[in-house]
Amino acid sequence: MSSVALFVITLTIGIFFILIGQFKVTSKFFPDIHEDMRHEFGRINKVFPFYKITGWRPYAKNYRMTIGIIEIICGIILVVGPGRLKQLANSVLLMLMLGAVYTHYALHDKLDRMAPGIIFGLLLFTRLIICAQEKRSRNEQSTKFTNEEKDNQQEFTDEKKND
C-alpha cells in the first residue's frame, strides 16, 4: 500500500513543481501568471535569505529563473528519475519550500501567501517519511528472508549429517 501512496504523492508533487517552475521561467503558456511571478520576485529579492551573511543578493530575474529551473529539474526527476536521485530532488525542493515560507514570513505576508510553501513542504516531508518507512520495511523483509534461508540451510546440513 505504501508503494501506491509513494507513487501517487511523488507523481503529484513532481508534476506540480514542473508546472510551477515553468510559470517562473517562461511566459509562453501562462503569461498572466508569469507576470505575477516576475512582480513577486521583485519583492522576494529584497529579503534574500543569505544577504545578511554575504552582503550580496541576486538580480530578481536571475533569482526567479534559478528557482524555476531547479523546480523543473527536480520535478522531472521526481516523475521519471531513479530512487536515490528522487530523494535528493525531494530534499532540494523541501529546502526551497522552507526558503519560500521564510521569505513570506520576512515580508510579513499573511498566511494565505505562505500556505503553498507550507502545504508542499509538508507533502515533501511526508514523501520522505513514506519512502523511509518503505525502505525500512524492505530491509526487515530482506533480513527475515535471509534468516529463513539460513534456517533452511541449517536444516539441510543437519539432515545431511544424519544420513
How wide is the angle at C-alpha 61 spanned by C-alphas 105 and 41, nearest 5°?
20
Q: Cβ neighbours of residue 99 under 8 Å, at least 6 residues apart?
A: 49
What is the pLDDT, as a whole number, of residue 108? 94
Least confident among 7-11, 69-73, 81-85, 151-155? 151-155
Per-residue buried b or exposed e for 88-123, using 16+ beta carbons within 10 Å of the residue's own CB = ebbebbbebbbbbbebbeeeeeeeebbeebeebbeb
Q: Is 59 helix (H, G, I), strand (E, B) or coil?
A: coil
What is the pLDDT, as a whole number, of residue 45? 87
pLDDT tens per residue across span 107-132: 999 999 999 999 999 999 999 999 99
Average pLDDT (154-163) is 64
H or E segment at 71? helix 60-80
The cell for 68 is: 524555476
Nearest 5°: phi and psi at 58? -75, 165
- Per-domain residue ranges of the chain: 2-162
Q: Which residue has the higher pLDDT, 153 or 132?
A: 132
Does residue 88 surpass a pLDDT of 90? Answer: yes
pTM of the full structure: 0.81
Does residue 10 surpass a pLDDT of 60? Answer: yes
